[in-house]
Structure formats: C-alpha cells, structure tokens
Amino acid sequence: MSRTTPRVTIWNEYRHERSSPDVQRIYPAGIHEALREGLAPYGFELVTATLDEPEHGLPVEALARTDVLIWWGHRAHDEVDDEIVDRVQRRVLEGMGLIVLHSGHYSKIFKRLMGTSCALLWREADEKERLWVVKPSHPVAAGLPPYFELAKEEMYGEFFDVPDPDELVLVSWFEGGEVFRSGCAYSRGNGKIFYFRPGHETYPTYYNAHVLRVIANAVRWTADERGEAPRFGNAQPLETIALKA
C-alpha cells in the first residue's frame, strides 16, 4: 500500500543561485523552489530546506515527518555536517525514501549509502542528452515515452563508480558519444533510493515535463509503504512468537 499523500522535503544547497547571475536568471528563487512548483500538480505535501538554514533545514523533527527527501548539491558537499549525514542515513535505513539529483552523486549521503567514490566523467559542452527508458515496467517509468531529449545538458559519462543498481530504469546518450546510467534504483535497509542524472544548474532542466514526471514517479516509488520493520536482537523461540500472534 502506498501513502495517499507523500510528505516530501526538497533539499537544495542554494549557493549557485545566489552567486551566479546566469543561474539566477534560470532559477530566480532557487532550484528547490522550481522543483516545488513543478511537483505541486502531483498533489504531494512539499516543503523545502537549504544548506545555510540551522541544521541545514533538516532537524530531527523535520526528517521524522518526511517520507521522501530530494537532494541537490554541487559546490558545498563538504559543508554538510556529518551529524546531519548520520541523521539522514538513519532515516533512510528506517524507510524514508531518498532521491539524489545530478551532482548530488558526490554528496556525503549518497557516497555513504553507496559505499563507493561515486566518481564519473563529466564535460560542460551544451550537448543534447537523450534519455532512454530501459525498464518500462518500473514504476519510475510510468507515463514516459520510449525516450525523451534535453536540448542542452552537462555530460556525465561512464565509468560511474556506484554499485550495480538493483534496477536500471534510464540510460543517457550524449552527442559526444558517451552513455551513462541515469536512472538507478537501490534499496538500503528499509528505504528506497533513486539516483536521477539530469539537472545542471545552468540549464532549465527542472522545468521539463518529462524530468518532473520521473521525479514525481520516483517520489511515489520511494514513498511506498514497507512491510513490518525487521526485529533484531535476542530472539524468542518461534513457537512462542506464533502463540502470541
């Protein structure tokens, strides 16, 4: 069973938009606000949080009422406090969904959950990106065409140093010839994680209807209710547990 109305926190570093006129022209209120506006028609409960807020906008109480956390970061990964990373990791393991966007691949939380460097090749060259749906039966692919294109994006290329995804939903091709695993689904503990590649800050990617559809689908997928939380520690004999049931 899925939650009727997922509670979503959109987290954004919010540095480029305040320091670069080019980025500010595209996202005048910040990437987080563009995402909130773009996802609003899907009926989610949406709040935002940014790096420079107290506790990065992610106090214990806020995370406790978050079903899905969307994460965008780039230039200030190292400024994210390790205590907050620990806090987010605990919530993911408990069952909170996590959607990591674009350069969030290098965030502390994504590297922590993947256990690898999460490094890749990249090139800023105003290249067309074609995203192919390679697992159309996956819930994140619902309502998408076989492929869609972004006129200009930053190139990410293989090798992408992440564990093999549990399910690979999208693959990108770029004009320079590179390909990239752009839609990667994982589970960690009782939580679900989706990494989605597009979203460089100098392009209007987060106004694209197909991009927003992927993120909205990922919200629903990562917010799915889980089964009963596993029990750990000293165990009673199975017969005793069965009798109590």
Looking at residue 160, its pLDDT comes to: 98
Number of domains into which the chain is organized: 1
Q: What is the pLDDT of residues 87-102, one digit of tens each?
A: 999 999 999 999 999 9
Which residue range(s) make up the domain with 35?
Answer: 7-118+181-226
Asked whether the beta carbons of 113 and 89 are under 8 A apart, the reply is: yes
Over residues 105-122, the mean pLDDT reads 98
Indicate whether 187 belongs to any domain: yes
Looking at the domain assignment, is residue 130 inside a domain?
no
Domain membership flag for residue 149: no
Q: Helix or strand or coil: residue 151?
A: strand
- Adjacent-strand bridge partners of 11: 49, 71
Q: What's the pLDDT score for residue 225?
A: 72
Residue 166 lies in a domain: no
Phi and psi angles of residue 201, each rounded to the nearest 5 degrees, phi first: -65, -20
Q: How confident is the model at residue 174 (pLDDT cuts 50, 70, 90)?
A: very high
Residues 6+ apart with CB under 8 A from 56: 11, 49, 50, 80, 81, 84
Residue 219, token pair as written in the block: 């919200």
Residue 167 lies in a domain: no
**With pLDDT > 70 as the criterion, what percentage of the chain qualifies?**
95
Q: Say if residue 243's pLDDT is above 60.
A: no
Beta strands of 158-228 (E only): which ranges?
167-174, 179-188, 191-196
**Is 199 a member of any domain?**
yes
Q: Is residue 128 part of a domain?
A: no
| Per-residue model confidence as pLDDT tens digits over 29-59 | 999 999 999 999 999 999 999 999 999 999 9
Indicate which CATH number applies to the domain containing 195.
3.40.50.880
Instruction: Classify residue 162: in a domain, yes or no.
Output: no
**What sign has the CA pseudo-torsion 227, 36, 19, 58?**
negative
Say yes or no to pLDDT of 228 above 90: no
